[in-house]
Amino acid sequence: METTVEIKEAGGKLGVLVVGIGGAVASTFIAGTLSVRKGVGKPIGSITQLATIRLGKRNENRFPKIKDVVPLAALDDLVFGGWDIFEENIYEAAEHAEVLKKEDLDVVKDELEAIRPMPAVFDRNFVKRLHGTHVKTTASRRTFTEQLREDIRRFKDENQCTRIVVMWAASTEIYIPQSMEHESLVAFERALDEDNTDVISPSMCYAYAAISEGAPFIMGAPNLCVDIPAIWELAEREKVPISGKDYKTGQTLLKTVLAPMLKTRMLGLDGWFSTNILGNRDGEVLDDPGSFKTKEVSKLSVIDTILQTDVYPELYGNIYHKVRINYYPPRKDNKEGWDNIDIVGWLGYPMQLKVDFLCRDSILAAPLCLDLVLFSDLALRCGFYGIQSWLSFYFKSPMHDPDHVPEHDLFIQHTILKNTLRRIIGEPTLDYLD
């Protein structure tokens, strides 16, 4: 079958610019990717590198690896850079994060030491628990965006990249509500020019700069940023793909599996209590009530949407859903999430499900970062732009416009992802009825 989407060749170098490049997630992602392409690491958790895709009918027995049939950028063509509020190189940052062992970092030490962050856009009013020392000193939001655009152009030129993807892997900003300045691009740009620091966050400066430079932007935190009409309008105008928000790694990943199970079996739910302990920089930031509020809104949205509480009020009309995150330094990056789930069964009889997930936050996030970079670049080369809902699989709070309901069910998200890939390469999508 002929390809139904015109795909530009993945030729030349692909620049990967990460906001928060010295953090645990970014340094683990970069060190791991360099290790994989050197042949000494395994890309476990990465769909682009390991997963197969069924093509045709079941009896045809065609299950090639995605990377063998979808024209993704090669790992050898990735060039890493980015911004951080601390100036240590990425080897030093990864050592400080204490996620990967020294012997694993040393395999790619020279490459990691060569990656030094550019000064970051930082406003402590938006991340109160951090004290950035490697930051841009301008006093204007508009000037910030112009400096970021220049950073992107310079990196692209110096590294001879043909394309750039920008990814947010920095801390969660404080919660801000959507305001009139976010409702249109004209209003947003006026707020930029007027240096309205109450409504224009640092992450919005990065998103605006990246999209204006034709680079896909990935929002990996729950910040109000790319999920506003002004940025959608900019992405539409510049024909650039955007995706987000908030990487789906630990506790919420389990919710997008367990909640569909309850609804599929028509089991009721009285309450869902979730608590976490986390000791890395993300945990420290989330110890601030303003940043936690942003994360809480992201995590709370999952269950109601999956269970369709308005459709099944007798089963899910009165759920008590509580989320807690506790900063516990001794645990470092090894997050632990406890869930107590009060289920209702036949004739109203109560049951319980308890989950204790001892996970490694950055180890789960790193392969998502790789997949999102490669798929966002693919989207750009396919001419896709605006919200990439087919990438909802990777996010806690999948972006959507007002005309659509977000899809949270992990397995439906997975089907949408693979059907989009089938459409890209000109294969029939699957309805699984054959």
pLDDT, tens digit only, all 434 positions of the chain: 344 689 999 999 999 999 999 999 999 999 999 999 999 999 999 999 999 999 998 889 999 999 999 999 999 999 999 999 999 999 999 999 999 999 999 999 999 999 999 999 999 899 888 888 999 987 799 999 999 999 999 999 999 999 999 999 998 899 999 999 999 999 999 999 999 999 999 999 999 999 999 999 999 999 999 999 999 999 999 999 999 999 998 888 999 999 999 999 999 999 999 998 988 777 777 666 766 676 667 666 788 889 999 999 999 999 999 988 888 889 888 889 999 999 999 999 999 999 999 999 999 999 999 999 999 999 999 999 999 999 999 999 898 888 888 889 999 999 999 999 999 999 999 876 66
Tell me if residue 331 falls in helix, strand or coil: helix
> What's the rounded Cα separation, in Å, for the pair 165 and 365?
17
Q: Is residue 24 part of a domain?
A: yes
> What's the rounded Cα separation, in Å, for the pair 82 and 310?
44
Asked if residue 241 and residue 369 are part of one domain, the reply reads yes
Domain count, the chain: 2
Asked if residue 169 and residue 119 are part of one domain, the reply reads yes
Q: Is residue 8 part of a domain?
A: no
> What's the rounded Cα separation, in Å, for the pair 94 and 108?
11
Asked if residue 189 and residue 277 are part of one domain, the reply reads no
- List the domain range (segments joined by +) for residue 282: 251-358
Query: Across the strands, what pairs with 277?
Result: 326, 336
Asked if residue 405 and residue 320 are part of one domain, the reply reads no
From 313, 342, 358, give the residue that closes a domain.
358
Query: Peptide bond preceding 245: is omega within 30 degrees of 0, i.e. cis?
Result: yes
Q: Is residue 3 part of a domain?
A: no
Asked if residue 376 and residue 316 are part of one domain, the reply reads no
| Best CA proximity match to 197, nearest among 214, 176, 213 | 176
Asked if residue 156 and residue 268 are part of one domain, the reply reads no
Other CB atoms within a 10 A radius of the CB of residue 205 amount to 25
Asked if residue 79 and residue 55 are part of one domain, the reply reads yes
Asked if residue 268 and residue 382 are part of one domain, the reply reads no
From 308, 335, 358, give the residue that closes a domain.
358
Cβ pair 271, 321 in contact under 8 A: yes
